[in-house]
């Protein structure tokens, strides 16, 4: 979408914790399956989601992946898009546990990053406070899920929506702020 609105749109990634560390049921449930099925039906260009059976292992927590993403975003911004996509595909296409440091390290290595350093960053909690601050800011905006898009002067768009709907929201926001 940034390419389509060249110079008029800037995407800012923010952290949103999806799975709390203290969650007791760490398996896919029908709730998760329904969301993936709905997302897969939304847009023919949407990524293909692996829709596991109920009971399949679910990541312990999304916090490690968010911390990894923040470190990459801060330290190697040119590699962040590739790493972000690698984490997305690992979880949604292959149902990998993105809370596992070995999985995150492998993804980092595949993006030309140092997976060992990335694991150290997560173990030491170097980015944790900032990730949790971004999560709280999203909650304060009324965001309760992902994906979420917030435009100036508009209400957040939350959930998997077709690209055309997001495009219309961006166009409306740009018109409202003299950018279209």
The domain ranges of the chain are 30-176
User: In the structure encoding, which two tokens stand for residue 134, read together?
Assistant: 């971004």
* pLDDT (tens digit per residue) in 33-87: 676 666 666 656 555 666 666 666 666 678 999 999 999 999 999 999 999 999 9
* Cα three-residue angle 169-63-10, rounded to 5 degrees: 30
The CATH homologous superfamily for domain 30-176 is: putative protein disulfide isomerase domain (1.10.472.60)
Full-model pTM: 0.74
* pLDDT (tens digit per residue) in 107-119: 999 999 999 999 9
DSSP character string of 129-142 = HHHHHHHHHHHHTT
In which region does residue 118 sit, left (phi positive, over 0), alpha (psi from -120 to 50) or beta (all else)?
alpha
């Amino acid at each position: 979408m940034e390419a389509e609105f060249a110079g008029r749109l800037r995407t800012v990634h923010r952290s949103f914790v999806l799975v709390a560390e203290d969650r007791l049921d760490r398996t896919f449930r029908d709730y998760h399956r329904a969301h993936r099925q709905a997302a897969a039906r939304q847009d023919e260009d949407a990524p293909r989601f692996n829709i596991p059976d109920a009971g399949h292992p679910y990541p312990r927590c999304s916090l490690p992946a968010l911390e990894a993403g923040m470190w990459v975003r801060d330290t190697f911004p040119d590699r962040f898009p590739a790493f972000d996509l690698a984490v997305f595909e690992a979880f949604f296409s292959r149902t990998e546990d993105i809370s596992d440091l070995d999985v995150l390290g492998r993804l980092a290595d595949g993006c030309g990053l140092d997976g060992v350093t990335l694991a150290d960053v997560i173990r030491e909690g170097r980015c944790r406070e900032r990730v949790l601050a971004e999560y709280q800011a999203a909650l304060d905006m009324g965001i309760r899920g992902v994906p979420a898009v917030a435009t100036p002067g508009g209400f957040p768009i939350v959930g998997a929506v077709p690209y055309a709907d997001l495009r219309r929201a961006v166009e409306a926001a740009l018109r409202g702020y003299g950018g279209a």
